[in-house]
Amino acid sequence: MTIKLKEGERLDELHRNGYQIIQNSQKFCFGMDAVLLSGYAKVKSGEKVLDLGTGTGIIPILLRGKTEGRDFTGLEIQEESADMARRSVAYNHLEDTISIISGDIKEAAAMFGAASFDVVTCNPPYMTENHGLVNPELPKAIARHELLCSLDDVVRQTSKVLRPGGRFYMVHRPFRLAEIMNTLVHYQLEPKRMRLVYPFVDKEPNMVLLEALQGGKSRITVEKPLIVYKEQGVYTDEIYDIYGY
Tens digit of each residue's pLDDT (9 = 90 or more) over 37-80: 999 999 999 999 999 999 999 999 999 999 999 999 999 999 99
User: Is residue 56 one of the residues assigned to a domain?
Assistant: yes
What's the pTM value of the predicted model, to 2 decimals? 0.91
User: Is residue 226 one of the residues assigned to a domain?
Assistant: yes
pLDDT tens-place string over residues 165-221: 999 999 999 999 999 999 999 999 999 999 999 999 999 999 999 999 999 999 999
User: Is residue 3 one of the residues assigned to a domain?
Assistant: no
pLDDT of residue 130: 52
User: Is residue 4 one of the residues assigned to a domain?
Assistant: no
Q: Which domain holds residue 154?
A: 9-243
Q: Which residues are CB-neighbours of 173 under 8 A, at least 6 positions away?
A: 126, 206, 207, 208
CATH label of the domain that carries residue 228? 3.40.50.150
pLDDT tens-place string over residues 79-118: 999 999 999 999 999 999 999 999 999 999 999 999 999 9
User: Is residue 139 one of the residues assigned to a domain?
Assistant: yes
pLDDT of residue 148: 72
User: Is residue 1 one of the residues assigned to a domain?
Assistant: no
Spell out the alpha helix ranges (H) of the chain: 32-40, 58-66, 79-91, 108-112, 138-144, 151-161, 177-186, 237-243
Count of domains observed in the chain: 1
User: Is residue 123 one of the residues assigned to a domain?
Assistant: yes
- pLDDT of residue 133 exceeding 80: no
pLDDT of residue 132: 47
User: Is residue 2 one of the residues assigned to a domain?
Assistant: no
